[in-house]
Amino acid sequence: MRDSQEQALQSLIDDLRQRVAEAEETLSAIRDGSVDAVVVGGEGQDEVLVIGDDVSAFRNFMEAMEPGAVAVDSAGRLLYANARFRQIFCEDWDQLKGKSLSEILPGSAAQMVGKLISHDDHEAAPLSVSFLERGVERNYLVSARPVHLGTVRGFAVTFSDLTERVRAETAERAQRVANAIIASANEAVIVCDRTLTITHANFAAEALSTEKLVGARLDTAIPLKFPDATGILEVGELVESSLGGTPLRSIEAFAPMSPGAHDVLVSAAPLNISDDEPEGCVLTLVDLSQRKKDERQMHLLMRELDHRVKNTLALVLSISKRTAASEETLEGFQGAFSGRIEALAATHNLLAGASWESLSLRQIFGAEVLPYTETGSDRINIIGPDLNLYPRAAIALGLIFHELATNAIKYGALSGETGAINLEIHPRTDSPSIEVTWTERGGPPVKSFSRKGFGHTVIARSLSYSPHGGTTLEFEPTGVVCHIRIPSSDVA
């Protein structure tokens, strides 16, 4: 125990001897004039103490400093400013001498630095300020430390230029943002330099090539053909035009080597990072696969529409001529022709509502026959499973039902109060046709006509476009019976 106390006491004595030696060395240097200033520990903050009344050595020290530096008195008035500080504010010392920092610094910067050197805030941390220097915004880190210049108490204030670091950080931040934007874009985005070397590419762009894009040449990594340019235009010319200040937008191209989309819409814009000339080009490639598919579907529908319109016009023309040939009066022609055109229109309306895909047999029957009976009447009966018919059979069956209904109103089951019509849909089998039977009963006695008009022709021939389609009309004494054969190929 006693040994350890003696060791601790000896260590303390040795430390004190070392400090005394250092103090003697410092005093000797001060007496010799080789020390101009010393740093003295104060309450909470060090201070710079200039030795003697001659401050020229301190000024030399400030001139050697890389940051802008000034010495100010306690009121903030300049005592000295080094060359870098004078360069920042484009003034010589005669113009700066005696001015306060608040007069030299612009608005907000003056207020911030004023607080930094206030007596109430000796321990303030360095702060960042920015202001224009020769029309360019620059950033500085400003710090202040108390200093004694002879008998004057003031502050040494330094302005360390952070502009390049701030610019680098801003550029790095902008790069991260740009990378995030490129990565999040749904369309393919490619950035290339002036030599067509790809510097950035997002995931969607990588899907257009079998090789790694970054570092590769654009024209070899994703070869593009421009069909509307008759083979003259190349992707390099797009980039060159963009770099020259002419952005190009929405140019259709074909990527023959792409494992993904082949049809793309290309836009090119210059990559402007600074006020100098563009450093590269930004290209976006929008996948046109779905649009091309839709266009092909539209062209197909247009051809189909053209075909149907021609067929419909031919059918209307035929109905007109045959109706005129079978009617003896103009009034008779008008009534028969209008009824047949209205029947054709009713089926067309139903098909339009079903996108010209298929119609149920019950829909067709209802549109052509039910308007002639009272709502809820039991005079019309449909028996059997429903059928969905393709447009060709639907149109033919609509005309057949119209002619049968017209005949029933004039001469058959619907001409009186008690007649009825049964429509029986026979079950589907392996037969090439499906039979539907129209049966009238309860009407006046039926007799066969020696003269057969156009209505009989419509019934007999409307389904004869197929060897498996057609009708058989029987004039039974109890009522008309029509056996209708619908080709199985026209049943959905």
Nearest residue to 224 via CA among 210, 235, 238: 235
- The residue among 57, 62, 123, 131 whose CA lies nearest residue 101 is 131
- Taken in order 11, 16, 19, 24, the sign of the CA dihedral is negative
CB-count exposure of residue 307 (10 Å: 0-12, 13-18, 19+): exposed
At 359, is the secondary structure helix, strand, or coil? strand
Residue 19: strand, helix, or coil: helix
What confidence score (pLDDT) does residue 16 get? 61
Class of 337-490 in CATH: alpha beta
Q: What residue type is 343 in one-letter code?
A: A
Measure the CA–CA gap between 326 and 350, rounded to whole angstroms: 29
| Helical pair 454-461 and 391-410, crossing angle rounded to 10 deg | 140
Give the span between the Cα atoms of 414 and 446, in whole angstroms.
13
Q: What is the Cα–Cα distance from 201 to 182, expressed in whole angstroms? A: 7
- The arrangement of secondary structure in 180-287, i.e. its CATH architecture, is 2-Layer Sandwich (3.30)
Map tokens 């039926």 to a residue.
446
37-161, superfamily in CATH? PAS domain (3.30.450.20)
Q: Taking the CA of residue 37 as centre, how many other CA atoms within 13 Å lie in the half-sphere pointing to its CB?
A: 21
**pLDDT at residue 75, rounded to an integer:** 86
Whether 252 and 227 have beta carbons less than 8 Å apart is answered as yes
Give me the residues of the chain with pLDDT under 50, please: 27, 30-31, 42, 47, 53, 121
Handedness of CA 427, 428, 429, 433 (dihedral sign): positive
User: What pLDDT, on the 0 to 100 scale, is given for residue 23?
Assistant: 58
pLDDT at position 231:
59
Distance (Å, rounded) from C-alpha 462 to C-alpha 315? 11
DSSP annotation of 120 reads: G
Compute the distance between CA of residue 266 and CA of residue 223 in angstroms, rounded to an integer.
Answer: 12
